[in-house]
Structure 1
């Protein structure tokens, strides 16, 4: 979709929609929102809705970074501690690697 063909009100609506949808445990939408609207928020000539778009872009970027850090921490902890957790580690695993007791 080409943002230059959209009205400023529709840009704000779409940016706000992506931000709110990210709260449905879809942090990927926050990353998309931050990347997609960054030029509109920080580079484009000033227009009335730009301040709100800028706020949503910043919050989306912060949310995506926080979710990425949490996910990365969980992946590292799970991959390094699964065996030590014993039966619990196996019960929360979808696939148990072969050859590891």
Structure 2
């Protein structure tokens, strides 16, 4: 879809829908929203709905970044401590590596 062909009200509605979808534990929707509407929020000629789109883009980018940092932190902690956690970590794993930890 080409955003340049949409009326400004429709852009705002679409941006808001992607923003709200991110609250359903779908952080990739926030990332898509931030990337897709980045140009409309900051570099397009000024129009009345742009202020709201800019707010949604900034919050979506921050939310997606927080999810990414949290996910990477969890992976690092889990991989570092998996063998020390014993059976508890095995229950959380899909693939249990063989051999001595």
- TM superposition score normalised by structure 1: 0.96
Q: What is aligned with 1:73? A: 73
Matched residues in 2 for 1:66 and 1:95: separation? 27
Post-superposition Cα deviations, 1:9-41, rounded to whole Å, max 9, x if no partner, equal 110001000000001111001011001001000
Structure 1 runs (4+) deviating above 2 angstroms are 98-101
Aligned length: 101
Q: What is aligned with 2:47? A: 47
Matched residues in 1 for 2:54 and 2:72: separation? 27
Matched residues in 2 for 1:83 and 1:14: separation? 46
Matched residues in 1 for 2:60 and 2:28: separation? 10
- TM superposition score normalised by structure 2: 0.96
CA RMSD between the two structures: 0.9
Unmatched segments (≥5 aa) in structure 1: none
Q: What is aligned with 1:33? A: 33
